[in-house]
């Protein structure tokens, strides 16, 4: 997908404030049986076509509104992913501004997961 220059500049300006991991780390933790909160922030139609195993849906359009109901503890580690890792950076930064202390964006997102050949749920 071709992104606009201003959008890419926003991502780069925000990236420094957000912790990131990658899809391989997430898969490794799943294989180990590690418990963590994985949140898909893509559009509902994207979620319906497939998502990472064990993920929960809280789309970017509603995450700020619904996060406290679902995760009231500000110390809960939250791993956010989107299609490629850009929207999750923005959402992670917003949650950080809301007081969440352990919000991590998954670099590569759903496309990176698929490219690695990892399984998806639908």
Write the pLDDT tens digit of every residue in 28-81: 999 999 999 999 999 999 999 999 999 999 999 899 999 999 999 999 999 999
Where does residue 95 fall: left (phi above 0), alpha (psi -120 to 50 degrees), or beta otherwise?
alpha
DSSP state of 51: B
- Beta-strand ranges (E) seen in the chain are 19-22, 37-40, 56-57, 78-81, 103-107
- Band of pLDDT at residue 2, cut at 50, 70 and 90: confident
Rounded Cα distance, 110 and 6, in Å: 23
Concerning whether 82 is annotated as a catalytic residue, the answer is: yes
Q: State mean pLDDT over 13-30.
A: 96
pLDDT of residue 70: 97
Q: From the candidates 38, 82, 90, 103, give the one annotated as an active-site residue.
A: 82
pLDDT, tens digit (0-9, with 9 covering 90-100), for 69-103: 999 999 999 999 999 999 999 999 999 999 999 99
Give yes or no for a contact between 51 and 26, defined as CB atoms under 8 angstroms apart.
no
Long-range contact set of residues 8-13: C-beta below 8 Å, sequence gap at least 24: 10/90, 11/86, 11/89, 11/90
Gap between the Cα atoms of 91 and 61, Å rounded: 9
**pLDDT at residue 52 in the model:** 98
Write out the two tokens for 71.
């995760």
Burial (Cβ within 10 Å: 0-12, 13-18, ≥19) of residue 12: exposed
């Amino acid at each position: 997908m071709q992104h606009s220059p201003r959008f890419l500049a926003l991502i780069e300006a925000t990236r420094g404030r957000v912790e990131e991991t990658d899809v391989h780390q997430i898969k490794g933790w799943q294989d180990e049986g590690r418990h963590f909160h994985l949140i898909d922030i893509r559009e509902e139609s994207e979620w319906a076509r497939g998502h990472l195993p064990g993920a929960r849906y809280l789309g970017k359009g509603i995450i700020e509104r619904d996060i406290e109901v679902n995760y009231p503890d500000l110390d809960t580690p939250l791993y956010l992913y989107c299609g490629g890792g850009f929207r999750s950076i923005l959402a992670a930064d917003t949650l950080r501004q809301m007081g969440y202390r352990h919000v991590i964006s998954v670099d590569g997102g759903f496309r990176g997961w698929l490219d690695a050949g990892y399984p998806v749920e639908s």
